[in-house]
Chains A and B, each alone.
Chain A
Amino acid sequence: ETGVTQTPRHLVMGMTNKKSLKCEQHLGHNAMYWYKQSAKKPLELMFVYNFKEQTENNSVPSRFSPECPNSSHLFLHLHTLQPEDSALYLCASSQDPGQGADEQYFGPGTRLTVT
Chain B
Amino acid sequence: GQNIDQPTEMTATEGAIVQINCTYQTSGFNGLFWYQQHAGEAPTFLSYNVLDGLEEKGRFSSFLSRSKGYSYLLLKELQMKDSASYLCAVRNSNYQLIWGAGTKLIIKP
Nearest residue (CB) in B for A99 is: B95
B25 nearest CB across to chain A (Å): 14
The answer, among A44, A56, A106, for a CB contact under 8 Å with B43, is A106
CA distance A106 to B48 in the complex (A): 16
CB of B44 closer than 8 Å to a CB of A? yes
Task: Select the residue from A43, A90, A105, A106 with max chain B CB neighbours within 10 A.
Answer: A43
CA distance A100 to B31 in the complex (A): 8
CA distance A113 to B100 in the complex (A): 24
CA distance A46 to B16 in the complex (A): 38
The answer, among B50, B87, B95, for a CB contact under 8 Å with A98, is B95
A107 nearest CB across to chain B (Å): 6
A22 nearest CB across to chain B (Å): 16
CA distance A32 to B105 in the complex (A): 29
Which of chain A's residues 59-115 have a Cβ closer than 8 Å to chain B? Answer: 90, 97-98, 100-101, 103-109
- B4 near A42 with CB under 8 A, answer yes
B21 nearest CB across to chain A (Å): 16
Residues of chain A within 8 A (CB-CB) of B95 are 97-98
- A109 near B45 with CB under 8 A, answer no
Residues of chain A within 8 A (CB-CB) of B44 are 2, 106
B68 nearest CB across to chain A (Å): 21
CA distance A2 to B36 in the complex (A): 14
CA distance A48 to B89 in the complex (A): 16
A93 nearest CB across to chain B (Å): 12
B contact set with A: CB distance below 8 Å: 4, 8, 31, 33, 41-45, 48, 50, 87, 89, 95-102
